Structure 1
């Protein structure tokens, strides 16, 4: 996402637990001279960084603390391949894309169908825009 979302949906993103994910990296300058050596020390076979002092890994708790994301609640553990995606899209977004590929929708469709809401927009329109924003972010 290239810019912060409209202030009109900020509360919806906070309520959904996505506000911190939206603001990650805002105002941060990435320095490739610092990132490249870290990437070179990553070992995919152990899922850890091998540093001169010792091995270091990133845990789910580390991610949760950095993102300030909620980790309590119901987890999705079962397959949803047999879901009626058209009905789900209509229920959550109020619109149905022409093409749904096994639960996938095109980002262009989201952007075209859900323009940023104006000050005169209804609460329902703002909620649907917030949901589309989260889908695009994911």
Structure 2
């Protein structure tokens, strides 16, 4: 965190997918509710504005204390800005996956360390390297796997990074 005239200024890091989604996966992104987020290419993040908001954040009430009163960002606000669905079944908590490589292989068609028993996670670099380009003869299953990989990149590289920025002070 840098300082500017006595104020702390946050620096952010985003890991957008480094490639446009293939046209074949767009229908799957639409079905999953991620098409609008996938179309966000770049935005100008005003670090000084976010830093000022962080300075006004009250951890006890989870609101911003502004001269005009208290305000907060709701899930509905995020849904409207990003076009994400916020209704339906809630996904929370931890799950215990006994065979992560098997689950990864089932959802993505391959796992990070195919053939190795000690698979624990995947990386954005691995996702980009393995799902950046679809062959012209890709099966429907391969297209679905590529769509899942792209959604994972969006969640980790864009949506999760945004929340880390706010919570990093």
Q: Quickly say closer, same or farther: Cα 1:82–1:41, change in 2 above 3 A.
A: same
| Contact 1:8/1:119, CA 8 A, preserved across alignment | no
Structure 2 gap segments, 5+ residues each = 1-15, 156-169
Residue number in structure 1 paired with 2:119 = 100
Residue 68 of structure 2: which of 53, 62, 65 is its match?
53
Aligned-residue offset at 1:106:
2.2
Structure 1 gap segments, 5+ residues each = none
Q: Quickly say closer, same or farther: Cα 1:109–1:30, change in 2 above 3 A.
A: closer
Please give the root-mean-square deviation of Cα atoms over the aligned residues, in Å. Answer: 2.3
Tell me if 1:73 matches 2:92. Answer: no
1: CA distance between counterparts of 2:56 and 2:19? 32
Residue 88 of structure 1: which of 103, 114, 117 is its match?
103
Aligned-residue offset at 1:113:
2.2
How many residue pairs match? The answer is 135
Residue number in structure 1 paired with 2:56 = 41
Tell me if 1:122 matches 2:139. Answer: yes
Residue number in structure 2 paired with 1:109 = 126
> Structure 1 residues 123-132 or 109-118, which shifts more?
109-118
Please, what TM-score do these two structures have when normalized by structure 1?
Answer: 0.79
Please, what TM-score do these two structures have when normalized by structure 2?
Answer: 0.66
